[in-house]
Amino acid sequence: MTQTLGTDLHSLLSHRGTDRQLAGGFGPPATGLAENTIRLLGGVPADEALPTAELAEAFKEALTEPAALHYSVLPGIAPLREWIGAREGVDDGRILVTNGALHALNLIFDAVLEPGDVVAVESPTFPLALREASYYGATFLPVRTSENGLDLDGFEEQLRAGARPKLFYVIPDFQNPTGSTLSAEARTRLVGLAEQYGFLIVSDNPYKELRFGGTAVDDFDLGSDNVIRANTFSKTLGPGLRLGWIAAPQWLIPALTRIRSTQDQHTSLVTQTAVARLLRSEGTFDRIVAGGQKLYRERSSILVDRLESALPGQLQIVRPEGGIFLWLRATDPAVDLADVQTRARGLGVDFSLGRYFDPTGPVGYLGSARLGFSNQTVENLVAGANRFAEAFTQAT
C-alpha cells in the first residue's frame, strides 16, 4: 500500500489549481490594550534559553571564510543534514533543510495536495497550518483531541464510512494549542491506518525537545513510507534563525526537491554553517535545551498554581509536561471568554481565545483559551494570572 501511495501522489505533482483560499488565523487584531500589557500569547521561547553567546561565536567562526556567504546546495549542507539525520534516525539523504517548520509544511503541502483534497487535522489545531493547506485548496476533516488523546475510534469510523484524506496533519508532542501528547499506542495505530487507507502522516513536532515532565514518546516511525516529519530549531535555538527541516520517505524527496528548486533554492549558507558549528560538539544541543526545560517547568507551574489559587474550581487546567503554553477551559459553559478577554485587555493582560484554533472556523471551543508562559518573567506570570482572574470574576 505504501508503494501505491508514493506512486499515486507522484503522478499528481505536475499541475496545480489556481483557486487557493486563505483560512484560519488567531483572530482579529487586539484593540483596547492597556500600557505594559502582559502578553500570554505563546509561541516565543524565553530569551534566557537561547544560546546567544554560543551562536555569536559560531557565526564569527563561519564568517572567517568568505565561502560562508556564497550559494548553498539545495538540500542543505552535509554537516547539518548529518546531525539532523542522526537525530531523526534516518540517512541524511532523506533530510531537506528548510527556512523553519512553516516553510517545511508549505513544501510538503505543495508536493502532495490538489484542490479539493481532504486533510485530516486535530481539533483544535495550529491555525497557520490550516492556512497553508487551504492555500492549496484543501478541505478539512477534524478529529477531536484533548488531554485524553486523539479520537482515533471516531476517525476510523469515518474512514470505514468512506472518508479518504490525502494526509493527516498532527502535532504529536505538547500539541498546539492543547498541550497534549499523543501516546505511543495511538501513534502506532495511526501509522497502521495510514498504511491501510493510503494517506500520509505529517508530524509537525517543534515542541518535542521541551519536555520537562513525564515520559518521552518516540515520534512517528520513519520506517513507514506513509510518515513524514517536519521540525525546526525555532523553539530551541531561536526563531530568528529561520532554520528547520523535513525528514521524508525516499519516494517524496524528488518532488520536494523539484518544488524547492523553483522557490528559494536553499536556506542561508551562513546560518547553516554557524548552526552546524554550534552543534558539532557532542552534548551541546542537549545542554542548551535543558536550560529551556528548567525555565519552562518553573514558569508553567507558577502560572497554573496562581490561576488555580485565584479561581478555585472555575477552570479545568491540565498541568503541562512540556512545551510553552497551557490550555484551559471554564468549568461553567455559560462563561464567555471573549468577554473575559476584552476585560483582561483593559486590565493589562492578553491571551488567545480557543475559538481561533477550531479548524471549522471560529465557532467552537468558546469556553477555552491558550495561555503562553515561556517568554514571561515570574513576576509577569503572577501579575498576568491575577489580572486574568480579575477579568474572569468581572465577567461572571
Q: What is the pLDDT of residues 43-95, one digit of tens each?
A: 899 999 999 999 999 999 999 988 888 999 999 999 999 999 999 999 999 99
Cell of 355: 475559538
Number of domains making up the chain: 2
Question: Looking at residue 317, which CATH number applies to its domain?
Answer: 3.90.1150.10
**244 contacts 84 by C-beta, under 8 angstroms:** no
- 131: which strand partners? none
Instruction: Give the pLDDT score at 8.
Output: 43
d(CA 197, CA 166): 10
Are 296 and 269 part of one and the same domain?
no
Are 183 and 315 part of one and the same domain?
no
**227 contacts 191 by C-beta, under 8 angstroms:** yes
Instruction: Give the pLDDT score at 237.
Output: 97
Longest dimension (CA), the chain: 63
Instruction: Give the pLDDT score at 244.
Output: 98
Of 266, 283, 300, which residue sits at a domain end?
Answer: 283
**233 contacts 89 by C-beta, under 8 angstroms:** no
Instruction: Give the pLDDT score at 166.
Output: 98
Are 278 and 292 part of one and the same domain?
no
Are 262 and 338 part of one and the same domain?
no
Judge whether 9 lies within some domain.
no
Judge whether 15 lies within some domain.
no
Of 283, 299, 323, which residue sits at a domain end?
Answer: 283
Q: What percent of the chain has pLDDT over 90?
A: 84
Instruction: Give the pLDDT score at 68.
Output: 87
Element containing residue 352 per DSSP (H, E): strand 352-353
Of 283, 302, 319, which residue sits at a domain end?
Answer: 283
pTM: 0.90
Are 222 and 162 part of one and the same domain?
yes
| pLDDT surpasses 70 at 15 | no
Average pLDDT of span 230-236: 97
Judge whether 351 lies within some domain.
yes
Are 246 and 372 part of one and the same domain?
no
Are 275 and 337 part of one and the same domain?
no
pLDDT band at 34 (very low <50, low <70, confident <90, very high): low
Are 309 and 343 part of one and the same domain?
yes
Question: Looking at residue 272, which CATH number applies to its domain?
Answer: 3.40.640.10
What is the number of residues in the chain?
A: 396
Phi and psi angles of residue 371, each rounded to the nearest 5 degrees, phi first: -120, 130
**233 contacts 222 by C-beta, under 8 angstroms:** no
Give me the sign of the Cα torsion angle 102, 107, 112, 117: positive
Residues 298-314: tens digit of each pLDDT: 999 999 999 999 999 99
Average pLDDT, the chain: 91
Average pLDDT of span 224-242: 97
Judge whether 305 lies within some domain.
yes
Which segments of the chain does DSSP mark as H helices, in order?
A: 2-10, 52-62, 78-88, 101-112, 127-135, 152-160, 184-197, 253-261, 269-279, 284-310, 337-347, 378-395
Are 30 and 127 part of one and the same domain?
no
Judge whether 6 lies within some domain.
no
Are 70 and 141 part of one and the same domain?
yes
Are 97 and 148 part of one and the same domain?
yes
Look up the domain containing 252 and give its range.
52-283
User: Considering only CA atoms, which of 230, 223, 231, 218 is closest in space to residue 194?
Assistant: 223
Burial of 32 (0-12, 13-18, 19+ CB in 10 A): exposed
Are 38 and 143 part of one and the same domain?
no
How far apart, in Å, do the first and last CA atoms of the chain sit?
Answer: 54
User: Considering only CA atoms, which of 115, 120, 118, 119 is closest in space to residue 136?
Assistant: 115
Judge whether 173 lies within some domain.
yes
